[in-house]
Chain A
């Protein structure tokens, strides 16, 4: 999958509060589906559905151990999204700071010109 498409999948997966809560939990260490379901008062199939979305987005992987298939956070994918958002945010923040300064300078210049006339 191309990075842009992956990024879209990841953003989509992150749009849901339950899935974000699952990721927060997994950031502390791996967990089974049963453990993940506990705080949400959700059925196991409902949690499994969320896990499939997260797995498809590459945000988690699931162990092959037959019994409890532990879920693990895949830090790399999350980092990709975080980096993208952060870069975008910084880009506009810095550009707008510069625009602000530029507009101030231009107006100061105009005032000076006005006084000379």
Chain B
């Protein structure tokens, strides 16, 4: 294992999960605090070009959160969800909804691993919509999905060439 892994890894698991991992050079308690303290959220949450405003952040099971990303031109994107599970300093389960795509709610599980002064966060996002629950598209769940995102790039490449023509 490399001593330092400072890039974000993004992969797919199953046909509904996106897994994001990242290591931080900070103790787990501090990382947990940065994620759960409303005064610290604006310092890191969301793309840089937006200002993040914490509208609601009730960190306890059943508590709601709502953050707003505000652009310089005043344009806003709202995000909200509910905390389902809080286990300091190791686990957070929450729902995530981008208000620009209402009803498309994913469930995010954040696991914080203590690497001895360093911390690894693994975020697993599971799609949770009506179609997903109905399990309509189960085919190829095991074999196919693993490569979905890798192969997807290939499809997109072809697509770019097609639209470029």
Contacts and interface: CB of A to CB of B under 8 A. Distances in A.
A102 B40 contact: yes
Q: Is the interface of B mostly helix, strand, loop or mixed?
A: mixed
Nearest to A94: B47
Interface residues of B, number: 56
A82 B144 CA distance: 18
Given A17-B147, A102-B34, A75 B159 contact: yes
Interface in B90-144: 101-104, 121, 123, 125, 127, 129-132, 136-137, 139-141, 143-144
Contacts of A34: none
Contacts of B163: 75
A7 B30 contact: no
Interface stretch (A37-45, A62-70, A85-93): A85-93
A51 interface: no
A20 B44 contact: no
Interface string A53-79: 100000000000000000001010011
A107 B26 contact: yes
A20 B148 contact: yes
Nearest to A107: B26
B54 interface: no
Contact of A15 (B24, B43, B148, B159): B148
